[in-house]
Chain A
Amino acid sequence: MNSLTYLLVHTTKNRILDIMKSPGKLVAYGLGILFFGGIFFSMISGGSGDRYYEYDAAAAEPNFLLLKGILFGFFCVMFFPTCFAGLKGTSQYGMSDVNFLFVSPIRARTILLYGILQALKTIFIGSWFVLFQIGWLRGFGIGTGGVVLLWLAYVLFALATQMLQIFLYAVTNGNARRISWAKTIIAAAFVPIVFEYVRQLFAADFNFWAALNAALASPIADFTPVVGWAAAGTLALVSGEFAGAAIFLGLVAAFLVTLFVIIYVTDPDFYEHVSGATQTLFETQRAVEEGDFQAAVPGAKEARVKGTGLGGEGAVVFMYKHVRESFRAKRLGLWGIASVLYVIAAGILAYFTGSGDSAVVSILSTIIIIYFFSSGMERGTLEVYSHYIFMIPENPLKKWICANMESTIKVAVESVFIFGVAAIIARDAPHNFAVAAVTYITFAFYCHGSSLAFMRITGIASRSTLLSVLMLFLYIVPLLPGIFFAVLAAVFAPDALSLTAFLAVFTLWQTLAGLACFIFSKNMLHNCDIISLDALGLYKNL
């Protein structure tokens, strides 16, 4: 057994043994296997498994294009970051690979092959999320069998883009001129579809939606390299048009094989660039593990020192500090590019939904979910990874409130803009947009209160992603009576005001629940564990 095979076999074996040792992981994997086993069983035993894409030329055409658009967009979202990661030298290699393999007497292309196998493993493990999309894909007439085919197409696409990533970093190898050329070539591949869209815009009197449909329906979209091939091939595959699937997915497969052959034959020297990028990534990961969670905060790299100084005294200084940090890290101060995108997306949604109520529900539910999962990266929440907030001799509740003040102000202004713009565009039910704006602000308030209550329940001042998912239910439970009362209010209110009544009652309950959390946990900051490597280790082994 050669060294790389030994490495692959033994790391995989040890990973499996690690799972076997951890009851939590074992249960999670067991449930996963049952879930996927269920899908396969359902497919084999008939049921909806024999339904692929139910194409009805008259009725399904709008849906067909919508699905094509979704696939095209999704593949684009996967394609560009993968390419840029390749240009930066991001790779499947870890620091241990750099330290042990890159200095060993093994040929570079063999190590590259090892990297490809690692990528394959990652893609295979990460691709299962596609099967979870069965719910909404049924709305497009895709059955279980179709979802499995879609998953296979996705794996092929992901492999091709991964190969492109490896190819890009092998070819460019940190050379600025080559990187620039590579970017130009990638962009050039998408020029025809952009031109086609612009052409259709003029043809459709600037009806954006009609132009988008027309551009997607054109062969230019289908022949857009990799992304278009994958979208057209996937769509053909799930709709049972296997000849079309063979052509377009065949193109993706040919692209994959060609890149592999080029890489293997040229035996490239990629060590310097990859080891540099791997080391940078490793340093960031290590900083985060050591408690420097700010190392992972995006935007921190472009900061420039202009004005200096803080304000306030005592606990209030946390708010001043966060405002200073935010303005230093982001051009828009408290608000980042995400806030701008929220406002634009809300405007687009309000434009296309056509109804004020639908727009309010869609916008509010989306931003609430995003806020819940992203609030763990707010400056106030990140304070608990440093000792200062625990050790500064001030009232703990006051410290927590002041530490989260910047985030609350940010949400308040963001909310006014999001719902204000959406209300202007929708020109329908402005009262609902106004109440929804307050609902979003009180949700942020509830999140800060419930984070404090979370500390009381778990005793740990941390909310990792895994814990966030597990504790989501804990956050929802106190809101359930509020939802119940809100539904009652909506039922008894006049039809035109049912959504307003629902939101108003829910907002009131949310505020009361948030207040209860604050009162219930007012001393928690002085009575919980700061996140430490020990605690991280503990949770890793849960």
Chain B
Amino acid sequence: MIAVENLTKKYGKFVANDSVSMHLGTGELGVLLGPNGAGKSTLIKSICGLLRFSGKITIDGHDNRSVEAKAVLGYVPEIAVPYAMLTVDEHLEFIARAYRLKNWRDRADALLARFDLADKKNKLGKELSKGMKQKVSLCCAMLPQPKAIILDEPLSGLDPHGIRELQTAIADLQADGVSLLVSTHMIDTVGSNWDVTFIMKGGKLVRECRRADRAETLEDIYFSLFKADELSE
């Protein structure tokens, strides 16, 4: 579903992503791990077509900058910034109209109810707390029912109920065959549903682990890698 080949992204002389290649299959849950500054957000933004890069990225077989690719991709940014002057409900209407969705109302209401936003439908974007902004961003990404969703630190700012709902939503989406790429520092919150883990460091993809190949937990994999590196340094 998401294929990245030899992605390199530079900011001036600084190489944020260095020849990164990865593949996420249909219905797979991929976890993107790495310390701060590893290049995770740059990789995600490149996949979403928000940054220029060298290399090739395809979404469902289409170039990631094509309209076809955009139609099947959802994105939840690390910092959720809703439109200050639109209400919560208007955000969903905006997405529905922009993506030319049909019969979206019931789905929108279900999403709002799921993320505890039903009573905040008429609140303006600027009136929302950080967690509520994040929930609106999640609803907007999920409303068009994309084939793949990329979530950049989706749990930041969420309350315990929001975290649990997101975990359930991720499991449901996975069950529906949606590919998910989740970048997070909170390893334990990903749970045990992951299919593939990509670990980045210094702009490079240093490890790719398939769940089927390994018996360890995500934490074991991550800390074994970074403890070993720290010792060698």
Contact = CB atoms under 8 A, between A and B. Distances in A.
A391 B81 contact: no
A194 to B, nearest CB: 37
Contacts of B12: 538
Interface string A523-538: 0001111101011011
A320 to B, nearest CB: 8
A478 interface: no
A292 B81 contact: yes
B14 to A, nearest CB: 8
B122 A305 contact: yes
Classify the secondary structure of B's interface with A.
mixed
Given A387-B50, A527-B52, A310 B124 contact: no
Contacts of B42: 534
B93 interface: yes
A313 B97 contact: yes
A528 B94 CA distance: 23
Interface string B19-31: 0000000000000
Contacts of A392: 70, 98-99
A458 to B, nearest CB: 11
B53 to A, nearest CB: 9
Contact of B86 (A297, A325, A390): A325
Interface residues of A, number: 48
Given A303-B124, A394-B67, A526-B65, A328 B94 contact: no
A393 B79 contact: no
A308 interface: yes
A394 B41 CA distance: 24
Contacts of B67: 393-395
A329 interface: yes
Contacts of B50: 387, 390-391, 529-530, 532
B87 to A, nearest CB: 6
Contact of B73 (A311, A325, A391): A391
B90 A393 contact: no
Interface residue range, chain B: 35 or more
Contacts of A324: 85-86, 90
A349 B85 CA distance: 35
Contact of B75 (A318, A387, A538): A387
Contact of A526 (B14, B49, B84, B99): B49
Contact of A391 (B70, B86, B90): B70
Given A387-B75, A394-B98, A321 B11 contact: no
Interface string B66-86: 011011010101010101111
Nearest to A294: B84
Interface string A447-476: 000000000000100000000000000000
B77 A387 contact: yes
Contact of A529 (B51, B70, B89, B95): B51
B79 A532 contact: no
A60 interface: no
Contacts of A303: 84-85, 124, 126
B45 interface: yes
A317 B97 contact: yes
B7 interface: no
Interface in A364-408: 385-388, 390-395
Interface string A278-304: 000000000100111011010010010
A162 to B, nearest CB: 31
Nearest to A327: B85
A292 B84 CA distance: 9
Most buried by B among A294, A326, A329, A395: A294
Contacts of B100: 313-314
Interface string A501-538: 00000000000000000000000001111101011011
Nearest to A325: B85
Contacts of A395: 67
A315 interface: yes
B94 A300 contact: no
A139 interface: no
A532 B90 contact: no
Given A391-B70, A459-B52, A314 B85 contact: no
A287 B82 CA distance: 12
A385 B90 CA distance: 19
A20 B94 CA distance: 48
Interface string B119-130: 000101010000
A312 B65 CA distance: 24
A308 B88 CA distance: 11
B86 A530 contact: no
A308 B99 contact: no
A309 interface: yes
B48 interface: yes
Nearest to A383: B83
B48 A387 contact: yes
Contacts of B84: 292, 294-295, 297, 300, 303, 325
A393 B87 contact: no
Interface string B36-50: 000001100100111
Contacts of A321: 83, 86, 90, 94
Contacts of B48: 387, 390-391
Nearest to B67: A393
A393 to B, nearest CB: 4
A290 B78 CA distance: 10
Interface string B51-71: 110000000000001011011
B68 A309 contact: no
Most buried by A among B48, B77, B83: B83
Contact of A291 (B14, B65, B79): B79
Interface in B97-121: 97-100
5 contacts: A292-B79, A310-B90, A321-B83, A391-B50, A526-B49
Report, nearest first, the 3 A-B pairs whose CB atoms are least far apart.
A325-B85, A393-B71, A393-B70
Interface of B: 11-12, 14, 16, 41-42, 45, 48-52, 65, 67-68, 70-71, 73, 75, 77, 79, 81, 83-87, 89-90, 93-95, 97-100, 122, 124, 126
Given A300-B85, A530-B45, 16 more contacts: A287-B81, A294-B126, A295-B84, A303-B85, A308-B87, A308-B89, A308-B90, A309-B93, A325-B86, A388-B98, A390-B50, A391-B48, A392-B98, A394-B98, A526-B65, A535-B11
